[in-house]
Structure 1
Amino acid sequence: MKNITISDVAKHANVSKSTVSQFLNKRYDYMSEKTRKKIEATIKELNYQPNIVARSLKQKSTFTVGVVVANILHTFSTHIIRAIEDFFHKHDFHIIVCNADDQPEKERKYIEMLRAKQVDGIIIFPTGGNIDLYEQMKQDEFPIVFMDRTIEHIEIETVMLDNHLAAQLAVNQFVQNGYNRIAIVTTSIIRNISPRVERIQGYKDALNSHGIEVNEAYIKTVDADQISLALTELFQCKTPPQAILAGNDIVLIEVLKFMKENNKQIPEDVAVIGIDEVPFASFYTPPITTVAQPTTEMAQQAVERLLQQMKKEEGQEQFPLIQRFAPTLIVRSSCL
C-alpha cells in the first residue's frame, strides 16, 4: 500500500505543500477557516500520517525530551512528571520517563540512552553519583535542568524546594503546639542528596531558634527498609520523642505503618508531620499535617528553562541558577 505523502494531501485538497505544512505545524495565521477544514478532512480521508523522522531532520529536533527521575515511587516525583508532561504536550513535545531507583549506574545508562536517541534536552532528578557525566553535558552545551536536587560546584540550572523552610515550618508547628522532644527521620543521605541534608539542617536551625537543644539521637537517616528499626530505636530512648518529622512521603508511610503495628495513637502518643503532600493525608485517621511542595509551578519553571536552552535564542530571560520555591504548611489533626 502506497504511503500517503504531504504532496498527496496538497493535491487532493487543492492547496500548496507549504499550506499543508503550515497546517501540520499549527500555524493558521494566514489560512482561512475553510482551508483549515478542507486540509483536516483530507488528512482524515487519506489517513495521512506525518513523517516524524523527516520532520525531525528538517527542523533539527526530535521534539522529544527525557526525564530521569531518581525514584518514581515518591508522590512528589509522579506529580512533577505529570505536570511536566502536560506543559511539554502544549509545545508538541513528547517525554521519555526513566526511573533511576537512586542508583547512579542506572542513571548513567538512561542518560546515555537518551542522548543516543537524540532527545532535545533532559530534566534530571540527579542521584549525585555521575559528576563527570553532568559536567560533560554542561561542556557540550546540551540542554539540561536539574529538578529537586542541586549538585555543588556544577553550574546547572536547578528548580527545587526551599527545604530549609520546609523543615522550619514543621518544627515551628510542633513547638507552637507544645512539643519540644522532636525527632526527624529521613531516607539515606549517602552522596549528600541535597533535600535530605537541607531538611535536617533546617530542623536543627529551627530547634536552635526556639532554644531547644539538638539531640543527635533524634536524627535518623536510613534506607527505606530500615525505617522501622530506626523508629524502634527512637522509642527505646530513655526519653522518647513526642513528635516525629517524616522527611518525605516514603518515610511518612513507614512511620504510619509503625504506629499502627505498635498501637501508638497519633497525636496522643506521638505527633506527626510529613514533608510532601500525599493523596491520603486528608482522609487518614487522623488527617495528617503535611508540608506541601508547589509541584505544578516547579514543573512549569523546569520546562520553561529547558525550552529556553533548547531554542538558544538571543535576549532570553535570565533565570537564577538555582530557584527555590516556598513550601506550604497544611495543618490537619496529627499535630495538636
Structure 2
Amino acid sequence: MKKVTMADVAKLANVSKSTVSQYLNKRYEYMSEETRKRIARAIEELGYQPNIIARSLKQKTTATIGVIVFNILHMLTIQVLHAIEEACQERGFHVIVSNSDDDPEKEKKYIDMLLAKQVDGLIVFTTGKNEDVYQRLVEERFPLVFVDRMVPGVEADAILLDNKRAAALAVEYLASHGYERIGAVAPPLASHVVPRMERIEGFRQALTEKGLPVIADYFVTAEISSIQRELAKLFASGRPPEALFAINDLTLMKILHFVKNNGIHVPDDLALISIDDVPFADIYTPTLTTIAQPTFAMGKKAAERLFMQIVRKQKHKPQIFRFPPTLIERKSVRQRGNNNDGRR
C-alpha cells in the first residue's frame, strides 16, 4: 500500500505543502478557518501520519520533555503532573515521566536516558543530589526547571511552596483554637530536602512566636514505614501532644492509620492538620483541615518557565518562585477554652 505523503494531503486540500507543514506545526496565524478545515478533512480522509522522526531532525526538536519525580504517589506530584501535561498538550509536546523513588542513582540514570532520547527540556522533582550533573546542564544552557525541591549550588528555575508560611498557618490556626502542646510528623530530616527542612523550621519559629513550648519529643521524624511505631511510643509517654501537624500527605496517612488502630478520636482526643489537600479530606470523618498547595498554578508555571527556555535558546536569569499556601478549614480541629492566642 502506497504511503500517504504531505504532498498527497496538499493536493487533496488544494493548498501548498508549506501550508500543510504550517498546519501540522500549529502555525495558524495567516491561515483561514476554511483552509484549516480542508487540511483536517484531507488528513482524516487519507489517514496521513506525519513522520515524527523526520520532523524532529529537520526542526532540531523532538517536541518532548522529560519529567522526573521523586515519588509518584505524592498528591503534589500527581496534581502538578496533570498541569504540566495539559500545558504540553496545548503546545503539541509529549511528556515522558520517570519515577526516581527518591534515589539519586536512579535519578541520574533517568537523566541520562531522557537526554539520550533528546528531550527538549527537563522538569525535575529532584532528590536534591546530583549537583555535578545539573551544573553541567546549566552550563550547557539545557532547559531545566526544579519543582518542590532545589539542588544546592545549582542556579536553575525552581517552583516551590512557601513552606515556612504553610507551617506557620498550621501553628497559628491551632493556637487560635486553644492548643498548646503541638507536635509535628515528618520523614527523616535531610539538608538537601528543602520542603522538610523549611516546614520544620517554620513550625519551630511559629511556636516560638506564639509563646508555645517547643518540645523535642513531639517532633516525630522517621521513615514512613516507622511513623506508626514512633507515634505509639510518643502516646505511651503519659503526656502526648494535643494536636499534630503532618508535613505532607504520606505522613498524614500514617497518622490516620495510627489513630484508627488505637481508638483515638479526632478532634476530641487529638487535633489534626496537614499540608496537601488530599482528595478524601472532605469525606473523611471528621473532615480534615488542610493546607493546600496551588498545584495547578505550580505545574503551569513550571511548564511556562521550561518553554521559555526552549524557545529562547539563550541564557536567562534563573528565578525561585514561591507559591502561597491556603488553609482549608474543616472539622479535625475544635475550639478549646476561651483564649485565642494559644495560651490558657
TM-score between both structures, scaled by the size of structure 1 = 0.96
**Who is 1:323 aligned against?**
321
User: Structure 1, residues 62-117: CA drift from partner, whole Å, max 9, x if none?
Assistant: 00001101101111110000111011111111111111111111111111100000
Counterparts of 2:10 and 2:163 in 1: how far apart (Å)? 55
Segment of structure 1 superposing worse, 183-192 or 293-302: 183-192
User: Structure 1, residues 269-294: CA drift from partner, whole Å, max 9, x if none?
Assistant: 11000111000001100000000000
Alpha-carbon distance change, 177 to 110 in structure 1, aligned in 2, over 3 angstroms: same
The structure 1 segments of at least 4 consecutive aligned residues displaced by more than 4 Å after TM superposition are none
**Any conservation in 2 of the 1:87–1:303 contact (CA below 8 Å)?**
yes
Counterparts of 2:29 and 2:119 in 1: how far apart (Å)? 29
Letter in 1 for 2:285: T
- How far 1:190 moved relative to its partner? 3.5
Counterparts of 1:99 and 1:123 in 2: how far apart (Å)? 12
**Residue pairs, 1:78-117, within 5 angstroms:** 78-117=78-117
**Who is 1:335 aligned against?**
333
2:92 is paired with a residue whose SS is coil
**Any conservation in 1 of the 2:162–2:322 contact (CA below 8 Å)?**
yes
1:268 is paired with a residue whose SS is coil
Alpha-carbon distance change, 6 to 127 in structure 1, aligned in 2, over 3 angstroms: same
**Any conservation in 2 of the 1:88–1:303 contact (CA below 8 Å)?**
yes
**Who is 1:202 aligned against?**
202
Letter in 1 for 2:321: Q
Counterparts of 1:140 and 1:27 in 2: how far apart (Å)? 29
**Who is 2:176 aligned against?**
176
**Any conservation in 2 of the 1:70–1:127 contact (CA below 8 Å)?**
yes
TM-score between both structures, scaled by the size of structure 2 = 0.94
- How far 1:30 moved relative to its partner? 2.7
**Who is 2:245 aligned against?**
245
Counterparts of 1:61 and 1:181 in 2: how far apart (Å)? 56
Segment of structure 1 superposing worse, 125-134 or 109-118: 125-134
- How far 1:29 moved relative to its partner? 3.2
- How far 1:35 moved relative to its partner? 2.7
**Who is 1:70 aligned against?**
70
1:190 is paired with a residue whose SS is coil
- How far 1:191 moved relative to its partner? 5.1
Counterparts of 1:30 and 1:199 in 2: how far apart (Å)? 51
Letter in 2 for 1:78: I
**Residue pairs, 1:225-304, within 5 angstroms:** 225-304=225-304
Letter in 2 for 1:303: A
User: Structure 1, residues 5-60: CA drift from partner, whole Å, max 9, x if none?
Assistant: 11121223332111111221222333333332222221111110011111111111
**Who is 1:13 aligned against?**
13
**Any conservation in 2 of the 1:218–1:241 contact (CA below 8 Å)?**
yes
Sequence identity (%): 50
Unaligned runs of 5+ in 2: 335-344
**Who is 1:186 aligned against?**
186
**Who is 2:340 aligned against?**
none
**Any conservation in 2 of the 1:129–1:191 contact (CA below 8 Å)?**
no
**Who is 1:22 aligned against?**
22
1:160 is paired with a residue whose SS is strand
Alpha-carbon distance change, 331 to 319 in structure 1, aligned in 2, over 3 angstroms: farther
Are positions 1:158 and 2:158 aligned together?
A: yes
Alpha-carbon distance change, 256 to 237 in structure 1, aligned in 2, over 3 angstroms: same
Are positions 1:213 and 2:213 aligned together?
A: yes
Counterparts of 1:4 and 1:177 in 2: how far apart (Å)? 70
- How far 1:131 moved relative to its partner? 1.5
Counterparts of 1:21 and 1:217 in 2: how far apart (Å)? 65
User: Structure 1, residues 243-270: CA drift from partner, whole Å, max 9, x if none?
Assistant: 0001100000110110000000001111
1:192 is paired with a residue whose SS is coil
Segment of structure 1 superposing worse, 89-98 or 1-10: 1-10
- How far 1:196 moved relative to its partner? 0.6
Segment of structure 1 superposing worse, 87-96 or 25-34: 25-34
